[in-house]
C-alpha cells in the first residue's frame, strides 16, 4: 500500500488504523488545518465509510485504495482495483462530488450501539452517547434484516479463525437458517419515484409503509455482489436521492415462486450488468416507473422508492449496517447528507478505458476457467 502511493509521488504525512477513528469526533477539519491535501481510505467498504464520516463537512477530498473483499464502493465509482492504478487515481485524479447517506444515531465503531456490543464500560457508554447523536455516513448502502444478521456472523473473529476464506459462505448459510423477519415501519419523505405496484406518496411526497421484511436497504451506489458486479438500475451517485428497497416476507405458498424469480434476477444481472439505464425523471416530478427488480424483471414482494430521507422504526431495536458494518440501531433517521463527499476519481475517459480493461481481464479469466474444466 505505502509503496503504491509513494511510487506515484504521494507523501504520507500520517498513518492511522481505522480503529483509531472510532472514538474521535470528526477529524477532517483538523487534517485540513495541518495542510493535508486529502485523506486516503485503504480498505473495504466499511473502512471507506468510516473515513468518509471523519471527512464529512470538511471539504477535504477522499482517496480510495480498495483492499476489501467486495469493494462495491470502488466498483461503483470506477476506481481501479489494482493498487498501482488506484494510487495513480489518487495522485492524478480529480475531486468529484459523490452523494453520501447520513444516519442518526450511529457510530463508526462496529457494534457500538448493538445489544451484542463488546464494550459496556461506563466511560465508553458515555462517550458513545455523545458521538451517536452526531450520526455517521455511508457511501454504498445501509441495510437491516438478513444482511445485518450475516454481518454479525461474518465479522466474528472466532468464526473467521475457524472458517478462514469460507467465512462468508458459512456465515451466509447460518444467517439464512437462523434469520427471523423484521416488522418495519418506514416513513419516507421527498419521494421522487416509486415502483409500479408500490403505495404512491401523497401530494407532499411522503409515504408511510408497514411491512414484515426479509431486508430493507437504503442504496446510494449501484454495484453490489463483489466480483459479480451486479448493478441496480437507475442508481446515480449524484442525484441527491437514496434508493429504498423493501423485500417483504413471501407467503408460504408463494415462497418457491419468489425464490425462482429472485434467482432469475441474479442471472439477469450477471448477463446485463453493463446495460444502459433509462433516462431519469426530471427533478421535482413524481413517477411510478421505478424498476422494483433487475433489468426488465419486477420481483414479487419488492418495493422500491427514490427519496431524500426516511425514518425506520421497529417493534424492538434491531441492528443496522452502514457499508457492511453494524454501526446503528433502530429507530434511525436516514437522509442524503447535506454536502456530497469529494472523491478523487480518474477523469471520465480514463475511467472508461480502465473499466473496459477490467472487463476484458474478467472475460479472459472466465475463458481460462472454462478451458480447464
Residue 257: its pLDDT value, please?
A: 59
- Residue 224 has a CB neighbour count (10 Å cut-off) of 21
Q: Are residues 152 and 290 in the same domain?
A: yes
Same domain, 88 and 124: no
- Same domain membership, residue 40 and residue 88: yes
For the segment 308-340, what is each residue's pLDDT rounded down to a tens digit?
A: 999 999 999 999 999 999 999 999 999 999 999
**Angle (nearest 5°) at CA 234 between 332 and 185:** 25
Do 234 and 88 reside in the same domain of the chain? no
Distance of CA 169 to the CA centre of its chain: 20
**10 and 153 together in one domain:** no
Ordered alpha helix ranges (H), 56-102: 72-77, 83-92
Domain count, the chain: 2
**CA dist., res. 97 & res. 16, Å (int):** 25
Q: How far apart are CA 200 and CA 288, in angstroms?
A: 7
- Kindly state whether residues 213 and 236 are assigned to the same domain: yes
Residues 332 and 211 in one domain: yes
Between CA 193 and CA 244 the distance in angstroms is 10
pLDDT one-digit tens code per residue, 13-71: 999 999 898 877 789 999 999 999 999 999 999 999 999 999 999 999 999 999 998 89
- Domain span at residue 363? 2-98+341-372
Looking at the fold, whether 41 and 145 belong to one and the same domain comes out as no
Q: What is the pLDDT of residues 181-232, one digit of tens each?
A: 899 999 999 999 999 889 999 999 999 999 999 899 999 999 988 888 888 8
**Whether residue 35 sits in one domain with residue 10:** yes
Residues 239 and 119 in one domain: yes
Omega prior to 105 cis, within 30 of 0: yes
Residue 101 CA to residue 197 CA, distance in Å, equals: 26
Q: What's the chain's average pLDDT?
A: 82
A 10 A CB-CB count for 21 gives 18
State residue 299's pLDDT score: 61
3-class DSSP assignment, residue 223 = strand
Give residue 126's pLDDT.
85
- Looking up residue 52, the CATH number of its domain turns out to be 3.40.50.10330
- 240 and 159 in one domain? yes
Q: Which residues contact 343 (CB under 8 A, 6 or more apart)?
A: 61, 62, 63, 64, 77, 95, 96, 97, 98
H or E element at residue 110: none
CATH of the domain at 327: 2.60.200.40
Q: Residue 285: is its pLDDT beyond 70? A: no
Q: Are residues 55 and 199 in the same domain?
A: no
Amino acid at each position: 500500500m505505502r509503496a503504491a502511493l509513494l511510487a506515484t509521488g504521494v507523501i504520507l504525512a500520517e498513518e492511522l488504523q481505522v480503529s483509531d477513528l472510532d472514538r474521535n469526533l470528526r477529524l477532517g477539519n483538523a487534517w485540513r488545518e495541518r495542510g493535508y491535501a486529502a485523506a486516503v481510505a485503504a480498505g473495504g467498504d466499511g473502512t471507506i465509510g468510516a473515513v468518509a464520516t471523519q471527512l464529512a463537512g470538511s471539504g477535504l477530498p477522499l482517496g480510495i485504495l480498495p483492499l476489501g473483499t467486495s469493494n462495491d464502493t470502488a466498483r461503483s465509482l470506477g476506481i481501479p482495483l489494482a493498487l498501482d492504478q488506484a494510487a495513480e487515481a489518487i495522485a492524478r485524479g480529480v475531486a468529484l462530488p459523490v452523494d453520501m447517506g447520513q444516519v442518526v444515531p450511529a457510530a463508526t465503531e462496529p457494534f457500538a450501539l448493538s445489544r451484542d456490543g463488546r464494550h459496556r464500560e461506563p466511560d465508553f457508554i458515555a462517550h458513545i452517547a455523545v458521538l451517536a447523536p452526531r450520526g455517521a455516513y455511508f457511501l454504498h448502502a445501509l441495510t437491516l434484516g438478513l444482511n445485518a444478521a450475516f454481518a454479525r456472523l461474518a465479522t466474528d473473529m472466532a468464526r473467521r479463525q475457524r472458517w478462514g476464506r469460507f467465512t462468508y459462505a458459512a456465515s451466509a448459510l447460518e444467517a439464512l437458517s437462523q434469520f427471523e423477519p423484521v416488522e418495519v415501519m418506514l416513513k419516507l419523505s421527498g419521494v421522487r419515484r416509486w415502483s409500479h405496484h408500490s403505495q404512491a406518496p401523497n401530494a407532499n411526497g411522503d409515504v408511510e409503509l408497514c411491512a414484515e421484511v426479509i431486508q430493507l436497504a437504503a442504496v446510494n451506489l449501484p454495484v453490489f455482489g463483489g466480483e459479480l458486479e451486479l448493478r441496480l438500475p437507475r442508481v446515480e451517485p449524484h442525484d441527491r436521492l437514496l434508493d429504498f428497497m423493501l423485500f417483504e416476507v413471501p407467503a408460504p405458498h408463494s415462497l418457491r415462486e419468489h425464490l425462482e424469480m429472485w434467482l432469475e434476477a441474479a442471472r439477469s444481472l450477471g448477463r446485463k450488468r453493463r446495460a444502459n439505464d433509462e433516462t431519469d425523471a426530471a427533478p421535482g416530478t413524481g413517477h411510478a416507473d421505478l424498476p422494483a427488480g433487475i433489468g426488465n424483471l419486477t420481483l414479487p414482494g419488492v418495493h422500491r422508492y427514490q427519496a431524500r430521507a426516511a425514518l425506520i422504526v421497529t417493534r424492538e431495536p434491531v441492528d443496522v449496517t452502514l457499508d457492511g458494518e453494524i454501526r446503528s440501531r433502530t429507530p434511525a433517521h436516514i437522509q442524503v447528507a447535506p454536502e456530497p463527499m469529494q472523491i478523487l476519481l480518474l477523469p471520465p475517459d480514463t475511467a472508461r478505458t480502465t473499466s473496459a480493461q477490467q472487463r476484458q481481464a474478467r472475460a479472459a479469466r472466465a475463458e481460462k476457467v472454462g478451458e480447464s474444466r
